[in-house]
């Protein structure tokens, strides 16, 4: 079963046109609890080297967090690096990888921002809306907003605030380790997004779906030694 967008838009656009697309997509974001607990979570990460992008998708069963399938896709990067427009640079290769999945995940977990974005349209939100699948952003750094440092204990979190709006959460996934920045992608609420990230956090800073996707994007195999399937779309 491939995973395809329910609708799409042009990708070969100018930065000004890209920002207008983001503003239009913002109206489609749904903030709501999950209908039911997930059974399969997809971790998603993209590695860009030079002008070539590689997207990695790793499926894990939940809540036991066993990785059981990985797939990657590669293609040239055609959109320039512009802060706030990451989805136009990395989105096409992620969609190409998702189309080749044989199982539809219940939740997408991105190493990227969701609503914690100046126009509330990070990669997790952008692709979550296009695919209409629950999505969570879990980034290693802050793009915008202010916060108070959470307690040093795992599970502690504080709101990430931009103006008068809560746009995400600053979450401690491991004792005394730097927090991650969690935000709504699509079809989840913030409490659910935080709970999913913490539910996927073991002994590492990154939650397991993103940790595995990051490793596979960098060329490492899953622990079963099964090599991910690679599609080169150059």
Task: Give the number of C-alpha atoms closer than 13 A to the C-alpha of residue 103, restricted to the C-beta side.
Answer: 16
Q: What is the mean pLDDT of residues 116-121?
A: 98
Residue 156 in domain: no
In terms of residues, how long is the chain? Answer: 234
pLDDT interval class at 234 (50, 70, 90):
very low
Domain range for residue 123?
15-136+207-232
Distance CA 213, CA 112 (A): 12
Neighbours of 50 (CB within 10 A): 7
Residue 171 in domain: no
- 55 and 45 Cβ atoms separated by less than 8 Å: yes
pLDDT of the residue at 219: 84
Residue 142 in domain: no
pLDDT interval class at 227 (50, 70, 90):
very low
Cα 27 to Cα 30, 41, 90: the distances in Å are 9, 25, 22
- Most confident of the following: 68-77, 215-224, 225-234: 68-77
Residue 180 in domain: no
pLDDT of the residue at 98: 97
Residue 37 in domain: yes
Domain count, the chain: 1
Q: What is the CATH number of the domain that holds 115?
A: 3.30.2170.10
% of the chain exceeding 70 in pLDDT: 94
Residue 62 in domain: yes
Q: Mind listing the pLDDT tens digit for each residue in 12-28?
A: 999 999 999 999 999 99
pLDDT of the residue at 146: 98
- 29 and 186 Cβ atoms separated by less than 8 Å: yes
pLDDT at 171 over 60: yes
Distance CA 53, CA 89 (A): 9
Residue 95 in domain: yes
Listed residue (19, 17, 84, 73) closest to 48, CA to CA? 73
Residue 102 in domain: yes
């Amino acid at each position: 079963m491939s995973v395809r967008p329910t609708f799409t838009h042009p990708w070969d656009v100018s930065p000004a046109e890209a920002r207008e697309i983001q503003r239009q997509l913002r109206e489609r974001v749904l903030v709501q609890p999950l209908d039911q607990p997930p059974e399969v979570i997809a971790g998603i990460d993209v590695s860009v080297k030079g002008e070539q992008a590689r997207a990695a998708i790793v499926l894990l069963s939940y809540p036991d967090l066993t990785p059981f399938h990985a797939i990657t896709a590669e293609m040239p990067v055609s959109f320039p690096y512009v802060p706030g427009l990451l989805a136009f640079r990395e989105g096409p290769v992620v969609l190409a990888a998702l189309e080749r999945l044989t199982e539809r995940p219940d939740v997408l977990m991105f190493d990227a921002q969701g609503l914690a974005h100046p126009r509330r349209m990070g990669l997790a939100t952008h692709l979550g809306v296009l695919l209409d699948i629950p999505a969570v952003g879990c980034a290693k750094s802050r793009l915008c907003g202010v916060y108070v440092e959470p307690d040093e204990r795992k599970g502690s979190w504080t709101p990430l605030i931009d103006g008068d709006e809560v746009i995400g959460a600053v979450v401690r996934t491991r004792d005394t380790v730097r927090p991650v920045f969690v935000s709504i992608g699509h079809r989840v609420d913030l409490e659910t997004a935080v709970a999913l990230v913490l539910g996927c956090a073991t002994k590492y800073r990154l939650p397991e779906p993103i940790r595995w996707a990051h490793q596979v994007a960098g060329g490492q195999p899953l622990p079963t030694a099964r090599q991910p399937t690679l599609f080169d779309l150059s």
